[in-house]
Amino acid sequence: MASPPDSASILDVYGTLAAVYDWLVPDALLTPEGSAQAFAPLLEPGSRVLDCAAGTGTLAVGLALAGFEVTASDASPEMIARTRALADARGVDVRPHLRVWADLHGGPYDAVLCVGNSLAHAQGRRGRRAALTAMARVLRPGGLLLVTARNWERVRAGQSGLEVGERLVERDGVLGLVIRSWTLADQWTEPHLLDTAVALLDGEGRVTTHAERLPFWPFPHETLDADLRASGLRPETSSWAPDADRYLVTSRR
Ligand SMILES: C[S@@+](CC[C@H](N)C(=O)[O-])C[C@H]1O[C@@H](n2cnc3c(N)ncnc32)[C@H](O)[C@@H]1O
């Protein structure tokens, strides 16, 4: 049985994976331009935007390149370092800073984004509502919150166990194999675990593996709706569908 996460691991769940994150994301989302494509049309031109789970920074940098005034924050120092490096490489300023959701301040922003299935790292209903309340707090009245999530109903309908990538993934000429292992708890409210390993192969057949245990607290889509309302937000649209793998919820302060 996997051990439960401690609070330190939740504050920096992505330290090891930051180096190999590119092997985990689909080709279309590797570039800033590709990452921004789904979200830019939802934002008013020139908006002040906070990406509060910035990860490697591709979305924040993509939105900055598209003319938005962007701030990027994340709980992981390694992710923030990647965001800063990408912003520098692409010649934009996204004001990268290390910040957990509960500590969000500044703004007010026209829009806050918490995407890439990040909210499931908030600990249970209390953690989720604290995070959403903090996101609402930095929005201007009428401002827009964009949250994306996995369809956890579908995930929980499956089994715990190993998923080994069906093909090698190539990034900058380096081949990697992605392996995930889900530990689904009996109850929705218990912590679930996703062990993720990226095994990189060098030209001589040597393998270097980067692995991390990611804790998460899944939620049904109705619960997300209730949590948004309890956090001072007004849900507007949801793309949830029984057979969709992921969905986007828009809400306003
Ligand atoms: C699944 S990744 C998604 C990153 C990015 N949005 C993307 O789509 O690639 C989740 C991100 O949320 C961050 N995160 C997890 N818990 C957090 C918290 N409490 N406060 C701020 N960021 C957090 C992680 O460090 C990680 O970068």
The domain limits of the chain are 7-153+218-252, 155-215
Question: By alpha-carbon position, which residue is closest to atom 15 of ligand 1?
Answer: 121
Instruction: Pick 7-153+218-252's CATH classification: 3.30.70.260, 3.40.50.150, 3.30.230.10, 3.40.190.10.
Output: 3.40.50.150
User: Residues with Cβ within 6 A of ligand 1?
Assistant: 13-14, 25, 53, 55, 74-76, 79, 100-101, 115-118, 121
Q: Is the pLDDT of residue 12 over 90?
A: no
Rounded to the nearest 5°, which phi and psi values hold at 157? -75, -15
212 SS3 class? strand
Rounded to the nearest 5°, which phi and psi values hold at 226? -65, -40
- CA atoms 181, 146, 80, 176: torsion sign: positive
Average pLDDT for residues 28-42, to the nearest whole number? Answer: 96
Who has greater pLDDT, 8 or 16? 16
Q: Kindly give the distance from the C-alpha atom of residue 118 to the centroid of ligand 1, in angstroms, as a whole number.
A: 5
Q: Is the pLDDT of residue 8 over 80?
A: no
- Each residue of 228-239: pLDDT tens digit? 999 999 999 999
Q: Is the pLDDT of residue 5 over 70?
A: no
167 SS3 class? coil
Distance CA 167, CA 72 (A): 32
Distance CA 79, CA 71 (A): 14
- Each residue of 93-104: pLDDT tens digit? 999 999 999 999
Residues in Cβ contact with 165 at an 8 Å cutoff, skipping those fewer than 6 apart: 177, 178, 179
- At 161, the pLDDT band (50, 70, 90 cuts) reads confident
Distance CA 148, CA 63 (A): 17
Contact (CB, 8 A) for 59 and 51: yes
What beta strand segments (E) does 12-92 contain?
A: 48-51, 69-74
Q: To the nearest whole number, what is the mean pLDDT of the chain?
A: 94
- Each residue of 191-202: pLDDT tens digit? 999 999 999 999
Least confident range from 24-28, 36-40, 55-59, 206-210: namely 24-28
Q: Kindly give the distance from the C-alpha atom of residue 121 to the centroid of ligand 1, in angstroms, as a whole number.
A: 8
Hey, which of 25, 118, 135 would you mutate to test ligand 1's pocket, going by the most ligand atoms within 8 Å of its Cβ? 118
Q: Is the pLDDT of residue 13 over 80?
A: no
Rounded to the nearest 5°, which phi and psi values hold at 236? -115, -50
243 SS3 class? coil
Contact (CB, 8 A) for 218 and 155: yes
Question: By alpha-carbon position, which residue is closest to atom 8 of ligand 1?
Answer: 116
Q: Kindly give the distance from the C-alpha atom of residue 64 to the centroid of ligand 1, in angstroms, as a whole number.
A: 19
Looking at residue 11, its pLDDT comes to: 64
Distance CA 122, CA 188 (A): 13
Give me the helices (H) in 58-123, please.
58-65, 77-90
Q: Is the pLDDT of residue 41 over 80?
A: yes
Q: Kindly give the distance from the C-alpha atom of residue 97 to the centroid of ligand 1, in angstroms, as a whole number.
A: 13
Q: Is the pLDDT of residue 6 over 60?
A: no
Looking at residue 10, its pLDDT comes to: 60
Hey, which of 10, 11, 14 would you mutate to test ligand 1's pocket, going by the most ligand atoms within 8 Å of its Cβ? 14
Looking at residue 70, its pLDDT comes to: 98
Q: Is the pLDDT of residue 40 over 60?
A: yes
Q: Return the structure tokens found at 23.
A: 């092997």
Looking at residue 177, its pLDDT comes to: 97
Looking at residue 9, its pLDDT comes to: 54
- At 2, the pLDDT band (50, 70, 90 cuts) reads very low
Name the helix (H) or strand (E) containing 198: strand 192-201
24 SS3 class? coil
Distance CA 101, CA 133 (A): 9
Q: What is the largest CA-CA distance in the chain?
A: 57
- At 78, the pLDDT band (50, 70, 90 cuts) reads very high
